Structures are given as structure tokens and as C-alpha cells.
């Protein structure tokens, strides 16, 4: 009988074997970040609510509608992190990482929380991979972050990811564009909430996904046509660098994304097989965010990639290709499975399994004194390539029976060299 308790609605939860894929793609990202010189940060899960109000923006849906905010026993207002960038930047400033070599290059991962309407690809507890480069305005850093994400998607075998790219200007050119956009939007027949948004942050109206709003703003002026010379040069350089790296992009002048802190380079990774929730990751530059949260002027750029949606994208591509599973396969949890026949064999096999693990071979064994038939069922269920069957006569003869579980072939292998033999066979 199962428990009467269930995970809360909207929680993204993973169990084996799907959780093995979750872990493997996270580990693949960790390697991409390491290769580019990014260090790991384990940040707080909840923060002072004002960090997100000031950093993410009062006009965003995230702050105005979606945050999980609570009061602690001391009467302080705290919020479960709805995103990572403000948290990472706060940690960098608090621990004075910005006083060393710049840029500070950080990556992290974990759950984030938003009180959204749960649906496929949109959860209340979801998982992200976050990467930030803080302390440099160099367009090469912009291109580097994009390349890390693009290379990670490629390493997973995803083939249909699109990179959407835009520039949102800077404090020099955006005010004039903002006023121009407000004048245009004030002339439209918009609902009350959207009209209020026009006065607070009109660029957010460009991010509105409702068809009736998108139709009305089809001819809205675009930031790309009003960039100052410095921003245009920066944007052109980012695109040149991406071209040098062989990374394709689509210029998307209406791309805004859902957070207020973005400046200049803004981008999103899109996967067409996911329908309405096609955005599987994205990021951009946030050169004024440090000052917004009380820090010194400190430019930065980063991204958040959705683990949940990446898994959905892998599964969607596999289904479209009529495959049995995602093209990217996690390392097996078990490569060799031990089957012992008798107490003496069980003790010897227990030591052998430990020896295999120390040699880097994923190994397991049957527990509970099962008979041969039941133990071999466990071996088949484990997904192992080989079973090592050991009985008392085998011990006397100094051998073990190694069975190829796919082919059914079984051979006697000397116990003294069995670890080396199995390692060689597994590498073929």
C-alpha cells in the first residue's frame, strides 16, 4: 500500500531511471563550466524579499504574482528564490569575490520556486543550471556564456535548439526609446493591467504572449533600431564572435524576457517541439543590477537553463525520431552484478563487488540469500552487462563464472584477474 501523502502540486520530481538522466545532464554541464574556468557556488535557497523586489523588478510577473514569500519567526520577510542571478550576485558581493580577479566566473544549480499554474514544462518547483560572469563588459564574455550553453546542448545530442538574440540597449540609449515606446503603447486599446505596465516598464509589454496584445503591438518601435553607437558596436561584436564559433542565431528584435535587469545582450534558447513552453534556457547582460541591490558598479552577464525542459526536449526529439529514449544516455548505474551461491561465496563476492567499485566499475549484487533463479532476475533488472556468478566450487577452483547478460555466453575467469578482465570487456 502506498502512502496517503503526495508531492505538492506543481513540484518537478524525478525518480530512477529518469532521475539518472537528470543527474547525467547536470554533470555534463558541470564539465562544460569547469572547462571554461567557472567555479561552483552553493547559494542560499531563500533570501530577503527586497533582494528580488529591487533586483528582479516590481513590474515583473515573478515579483508581483509568483514569489513564495513568508515571514519568519523574527518577523522578517523572506522569499524562496524564484531565480538565481540576484542570489549569485548578492553572494559575490557579500563574500568580496569581486575584489579579486575579474570577471568572477560562477556556476550553480538547484531548485527555484514560482507560484505558477502548473502545466507541462512549467512548475512551481523547477530546476535550473545557472552561470554568471561578473565584472566585465567585454563582448567576448557575452559570446563565451552563449557558447557554453550551446556546446552543452550539442553535447546532449539536441539538434533542434534555436538561439534567439537581441540587444536591449543601455542607460544611455534606452530612456529615449522607452519614451518613444510609451507614446506608441498609450495609443493602443490595452487592458488596465497592461496600461499600468506601460507606465512602469513598457519593454515588458513586448514580452506579452497573449495573441490579442501581440497583434496590437506588431508595429511597435524596436530597441534594435534605436541603439546608441556603443551598444550597436557591442551587439555587432557579439554576433561576429558567435559566427567565428560556428554558432547560428536568429535576430529577434522583440525578445525581452521576463526580468527587468537585462541590458544589451539578451538571448533565449528555444525548442520548437515543446509548444507553448518552448523556451529551454536564456540569459543576458545585467550591467546595472549590482547598483540596484546596493553594490558598486559591476557589469555582469549570465544565463539560466531549465533542466526540466531540457529533459522534455531530449524526450521529444527521441520520440520524433521514433527512438526508445533520449539520444543522450546517462552512465549505467550497474555494469556488473554479482550472484552468490552459498554463505562462503556471498562473503567473497561482497569483497569482490567492493574491489570492482574501487576500480571504477559500477557494481551491485543480490542480497537476502536468494536462490540462483531469483538472483539472476535481479541481475537482469539491474541493467548490467555482465553477471559474476560465484559458488563454493568456483572458490575452490579459484574462478568465477562471468555471464554476458545480452548474449547469454558464460565463461570461467580466474578470480585473481577478474577486475582487470571485466574492465577490459566493458571498454569494448
**Consecutive H or E run containing 70:** strand 69-71
Q: Domain holding 366: CATH number?
A: 3.40.50.800
- The one-digit pLDDT tens for each residue of the chain (428 residues) are 567 899 999 998 999 889 999 999 999 999 999 999 999 999 999 999 999 988 887 767 788 788 999 999 999 999 999 999 999 999 999 999 999 999 999 999 999 999 988 888 889 999 999 999 999 999 999 999 999 999 999 999 999 999 999 999 998 998 999 999 999 999 998 898 888 888 888 888 887 878 888 888 988 999 999 999 999 999 999 999 999 999 999 999 988 876 678 899 999 999 999 988 899 999 999 999 999 999 999 999 999 999 999 999 999 998 888 765 667 778 888 999 999 998 899 999 999 999 999 999 999 999 988 898 999 999 999 999 999 999 999 999 999 999 999 999 999 999 999 999 999 999 98
Asked whether residue 181 is domain-assigned, the answer is no
If asked whether residues 384 and 306 sit together in one domain, one would say no
If asked whether residues 26 and 103 sit together in one domain, one would say yes
If asked whether residues 281 and 394 sit together in one domain, one would say no
> Which residues, including other chains, have CB under 8 Å from residue 133's CB and lie 6 or more apart?
38, 103, 104, 105, 106, 141, 144, 145, 300, 301, 302
Ordered DSSP codes for 19-45: HHHHHHHHHHHHHHHHHTTPEE----S
Asked whether residue 194 is domain-assigned, the answer is no
Stated pTM of the model: 0.89
- Domain-terminating residue out of 274, 293, 320: 320
DSSP summary character for residue 122: B
If asked whether residues 100 and 31 sit together in one domain, one would say yes
For residue 92, give the nearest of 271, 275, 294 by alpha carbon.
294
Predicted local confidence at residue 84, as pLDDT: 95
Alpha carbon distances (Å) from 326 to 61, 81, 118, 309: 33, 30, 24, 13
Predicted local confidence at residue 199, as pLDDT: 87
If asked whether residues 246 and 369 sit together in one domain, one would say no
If asked whether residues 303 and 383 sit together in one domain, one would say no
Q: Domain holding 299: CATH number?
A: 3.30.930.10
- Domain-terminating residue out of 275, 292, 320: 320
Tell me how far apart the alpha carbons of residues 327 and 28 are, in angstroms, rounded to a whole number. 14
- Domain-terminating residue out of 270, 295, 320: 320
Neighbours of 418 (CB within 10 A): 19
Asked whether residue 6 is domain-assigned, the answer is no
Asked whether residue 364 is domain-assigned, the answer is yes
Asked whether residue 328 is domain-assigned, the answer is no
If asked whether residues 235 and 358 sit together in one domain, one would say no
Asked whether residue 307 is domain-assigned, the answer is yes
Asked whether residue 165 is domain-assigned, the answer is yes
If asked whether residues 81 and 143 sit together in one domain, one would say yes
DSSP summary character for residue 152: H
> Which residues, including other chains, have CB under 8 Å from residue 337's CB and lie 6 or more apart?
363, 364, 365, 366, 378, 379, 382, 384, 386, 387, 388, 405
CB 233 within 8 A of CB 139: no
For residue 146, give the nearest of 248, 234, 56, 224 by alpha carbon.
248
Predicted local confidence at residue 330, as pLDDT: 83
In sequence order, the β-bridge partners of residue 363 are 336
CB 79 within 8 A of CB 108: no
Predicted local confidence at residue 331, as pLDDT: 85
Asked whether residue 408 is domain-assigned, the answer is yes
Q: Which domain holds residue 374?
A: 336-426
If asked whether residues 342 and 302 sit together in one domain, one would say no
If asked whether residues 344 and 312 sit together in one domain, one would say no
For residue 278, give the nearest of 288, 286, 270, 269 by alpha carbon.
270
Q: How many domains does the chain have?
A: 2
Query: Do the strands 399-404 and 386-391 form a parallel or antiparallel pair, or are they unpaired?
Result: antiparallel
If asked whether residues 144 and 45 sit together in one domain, one would say yes
If asked whether residues 316 and 340 sit together in one domain, one would say no
Amino acid at each position: 500500500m502506498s502512502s496517503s501523502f503526495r508531492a505538492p502540486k506543481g513540484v518537478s520530481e524525478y525518480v530512477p531511471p529518469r532521475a539518472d538522466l537528470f543527474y547525467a545532464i547536470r554533470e555534463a554541464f558541470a564539465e562544460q563550466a569547469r572547462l571554461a574556468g567557472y567555479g561552483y557556488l552553493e547559494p542560499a535557497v531563500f533570501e530577503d524579499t527586497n533582494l528580488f523586489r529591487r533586483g528582479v523588478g516590481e513590474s515583473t510577473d515573478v515579483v508581483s504574482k509568483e514569489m513564495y514569500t513568508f515571514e519568519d519567526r523574527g518577523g522578517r520577510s523572506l522569499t524562496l528564490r524564484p531565480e538565481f542571478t540576484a542570489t549569485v550576485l548578492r553572494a559575490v558581493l557579500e563574500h568580496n569575490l569581486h575584489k579579486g580577479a575579474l570577471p568572477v566566473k560562477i556556476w550553480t544549480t538547484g531548485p527555484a520556486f514560482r507560484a505558477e499554474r502548473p502545466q507541462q514544462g512549467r512548475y512551481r518547483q523547477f530546476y535550473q543550471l545557472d552561470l554568471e560572469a561578473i565584472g566585465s563588459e567585454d563582448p567576448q564574455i557575452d559570446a563565451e556564456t552563449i557558447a557554453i550553453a550551446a556546446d552543452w546542448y550539442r553535447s546532449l545530442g539536441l539538434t533542434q535548439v534555436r538561439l534567439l538574440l537581441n540587444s536591449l540597449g543601455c542607460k544611455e540609449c534606452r530612456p529615449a526609446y522607452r519614451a518613444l515606446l510609451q507614446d506608441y503603447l498609450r495609443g493602443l486599446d490595452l487592458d488596465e493591467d497592461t496600461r499600468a505596465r506601460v507606465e512602469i516598464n513598457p519593454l515588458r509589454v513586448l514580452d506579452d504572449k497573449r495573441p490579442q496584445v501581440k497583434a496590437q503591438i506588431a508595429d511597435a518601435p524596436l530597441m534594435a533600431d534605436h541603439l546608441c553607437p556603443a551598444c550597436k558596436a557591442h551587439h555587432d561584436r557579439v554576433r561576429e564572435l558567435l559566427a567565428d564559433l560556428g554558432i547560428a542565431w536568429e535576430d529577434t528584435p522583440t525578445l525581452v524576457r521576463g526580468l527587468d535587469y537585462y541590458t544589451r545582450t539578451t538571448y533565449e534558447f528555444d525548442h520548437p517541439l515543446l509548444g507553448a513552453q518552448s523556451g529551454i534556457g536564456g540569459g543576458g547582460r545585467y550591467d546595472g543590477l549590482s547598483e540596484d541591490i546596493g553594490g558598486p558598479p559591476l557589469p555582469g552577464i549570465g544565463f539560466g537553463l531549465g533542466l526540466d525542459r531540457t529533459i522534455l526536449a531530449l524526450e521529444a526529439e527521441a520520440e520524433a525520431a521514433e527512438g526508445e529514449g533520449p539520444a543522450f544516455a546517462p552512465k549505467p548505474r550497474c555494469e556488473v552484478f554479482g550472484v552468490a551461491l552459498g554463505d562462503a561465496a556471498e562473503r567473497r563476492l561482497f569483497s569482490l563487488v567492493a574491489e570492482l567499485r574501487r576500480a571504477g566499475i559500477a557494481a551491485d549484487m543480490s542480497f537476502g540469500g536468494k536462490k540462483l533463479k531469483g538472483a539472476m532476475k535481479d541481475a537482469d533488472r539491474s541493467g548490467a552487462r555482465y553477471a559474476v556468478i560465484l559458488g563454493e566450487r568456483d572458490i575452490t577452483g579459484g574462478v568465477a563464472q562471468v555471464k554476458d547478460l545480452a548474449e547469454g555466453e558464460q565463461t570461467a575467469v580466474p578470480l585473481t584477474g577478474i577486475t582487470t578482465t571485466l574492465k577490459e570487456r566493458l571498454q569494448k
